[in-house]
Structure 1
């Protein structure tokens, strides 16, 4: 008997999707966009740079009762800085989303991630983080962002140490990237999962190009980003269920279908 065929992926044919994730993580969106017959256009909203500020905490990993990794980049840079990182037996590990959990699994680390909300609020609702009084927690990421996690855990009585393994930097776009964006075929759908990336787009894009993006579709990963985008004059904002590529593209497909009605 011939096995049933998988259902076809919903089409993004004819649309240009602007991918604003840093270059190292853009592939997780570029590949499925092409599989759906859309045209990906990479325009990183920020760049990431390794930081050695977290090296000492990583080398003293055994003293922490719990670990929180805020992104796949946090995992990547942590193990780049300290390839022999060993988390103490009995310590718990949490991640903000499923992508970060998978990145940890590739290093043999089992982590717990929220099943419904891949954000700070979803993480803080995990049972592992309900009773943390007196516990020493390593929060692995970059300076700025995720302040809610540290503040909430400290309010619950934890001793939280920020372990900065990378830094977020403004993007440096080439003339070719800017030209490709200016000449990209409509409809355009910009995919955004970072408030800092949005700020960089608004501050650094040429005026005419930014005005065009503001008139086109924007898909964001949270209501918080949606409010920020509308405050920055974006007119057609759509909210995805999460920052996961599948959720961002599902929202893009719905936005495109609505646009074509």
Structure 2
């Protein structure tokens, strides 16, 4: 079995299928290799109902994109063109960059790149209407909080997460995973999918890893699954996760 992915240390990625390259490059800059595990595939929606929901969401006073995948899927359904007086917002820097690539130069993202950071933006304190461009499941705090603040919510689920069963090769790589290894954790749903639905050997292997978590909330979830030690990177971007992981390795 090939072992080239295991170098001085290993960063474990739970990004969607095809989404590991940035983490791989970030780990390599710190002398690490990458073990890519994809719990799901992201599939854009193309149906008429999704197109109509997006058109309505894009008419709201504030438009929120929860991920780069949401931006890409929305742009594939229709051109993204802000109206005068609208606020276009992104959960994180990656989503804001995707909006810029789609031609939206004025999109804003919070310094704290998570649901709590987004909801603290002044544009979302008392909005009349919010278009939420997202996928089913995940980030439930955002719609619940916006509705509680009196916003008319116009939700457009423009892509879906399709769970992927673990391949025999993925399970073999997990069994062969040797310390030092760090899990790069930026998605609650990805972690829960692996820990709750993959074979027990997968969860056991991840419990042998340290964790670089993108936020305090994710750190608490990882700890709840028995993963230790956990360090908060404070940023979901690959560079921050890899740097935090390398610091964890150096400290052990």
The two structures have a TM-score, normalised by structure 1, of 0.86
Mark the CA change 1:148 to 1:203 in structure 2 (over 3 Å): closer, same or farther.
closer
Match of 1:58 among 36, 54, 59: 54
Counterpart CA distance in 2 for 1:65 and 1:54 is 20
Would you say the 8 A contact 1:43–1:177 is kept in 2?
yes
Match of 1:79, SS state, is helix
Superposed displacement of residue 49, structure 1: 2.0
Q: Which residue of 1 aligns with 2:118?
A: 123
Match of 2:222, SS state, is helix
Match of 2:113, SS state, is coil
Q: Which residue of 2 aligns with 1:7?
A: none
Q: Which residue of 2 aligns with 1:70?
A: 66
Q: Which residue of 2 aligns with 1:106?
A: 101
Residues 135-150 of structure 1 mapped to structure 2, 5 A cutoff: 135-150=128-143
The structure number with the bigger radius of gyration is 1
Superposed displacement of residue 131, structure 1: 3.3
Q: Which residue of 1 aligns with 2:3?
A: none
Q: Deviations over 1:8-38 (max 9, x none)?
A: xxxx961011111112332221111122221
Q: Which residue of 2 aligns with 1:237?
A: 230
Superposed displacement of residue 81, structure 1: 2.4
Would you say the 8 A contact 2:186–2:236 is kept in 1?
yes
The two structures have a TM-score, normalised by structure 2, of 0.88
Number of residue equivalences: 244
Q: Which residue of 2 aligns with 1:91?
A: 86
Counterpart CA distance in 1 for 2:136 and 2:197 is 21
Mark the CA change 1:186 to 1:127 in structure 2 (over 3 Å): closer, same or farther.
same
Counterpart CA distance in 2 for 1:211 and 1:61 is 42
CA-atom RMSD in angstroms: 2.0
